[in-house]
Amino acid sequence: MRLFIGGMRGSRPCTGGSFEEFGGDTTSLLLIGSQNERIVLDAGTGMRAIAEQLAATEPGNVTILFSHYHLDHLFGLTMNPLFHKSNWSFKFAGPILSGCNIRDAVTRFIIPPYWPIPLEKMNAKFEFVEFSMNDIYIGKLRVRGCPVTHPGGCISYRIEDTHSDTSIVFATDIEWQKRTDSYEKAFIKMCSEPKPADLLIIDAHFARVETNTFAGWGHTCWEDDLDIAASAKIKNVLLSHHNPEAADEILRAVEQEAKKIIPGAMVGRAGQWLTIGDKKTV
């Protein structure tokens, strides 16, 4: 599998010279399976860069998988010109959270007065699939889900490429300090079974010294992320959902410290491509 980072900023986008290395767009990732399956993980403002990558490929089917429906994970739905092209098909998949299903989350956002052109007037083909915690398949990609602690609810995902025997876990917006025993057991199981994921993509919004400041916000410190990875025996960690106040020098320092603990740890950079698999994740 291959992974492209459109954006990894949390809560809101940011701009300026202090955010050039790691980027300022909010969460949106493109995962390409070994059989050319295409999954977009969340639709933050990083969707702009995702759309550019998709436009360079053959038109066809794309699944957009949502962890939850907070605005920083929806903004990019207005930034995908491929929605206006008839030779593209998009399947929106996501859970019911706070009484809101995937169809309502998308169609109530892309509608006047919030956006001038509603989805039904765009030319691409659209489909909505409710993720009910049962496994779903996208080609050879198996998608499993696990609830995590976040205000309003959030789902983490394990995506396994059954053809290449590689896997990732995508766990944005998780507050590890607020976990219950059952949540912890279920999440570690998802990360480690049937074997440790090749890559853990996880919320690293702040540092452990800031735990009290950010208590209840729904996010995790990067030190806890490394503890999770160690418990699940995961060797590669992609720290994500960066604090919008965290400039490049701060994130660079976090990466240096994280690598001292887990050499395969890194801080996600917008525009970065990663290859997923044994001895290939860089």
149-204: pLDDT as tens digits: 999 999 999 999 999 999 999 999 999 989 999 999 999 999 999 999 999 999 99
Identify the pLDDT of residue 278.
59
Q: Where are the beta strands (DSSP E) in 139-207?
A: 141-148, 154-161, 166-171, 199-203
End-to-end CA distance of the chain: 13
For the chain, which ranges sit under pLDDT 70?
A: 278-282
Q: What is the Cα–Cα distance from 82 to 174, expressed in whole angstroms?
A: 31
Percent of the chain with pLDDT over 70: 98
Identify the CA nearest to 262 among candidates 232, 212, 227: 227
Identify the pLDDT of residue 217.
86
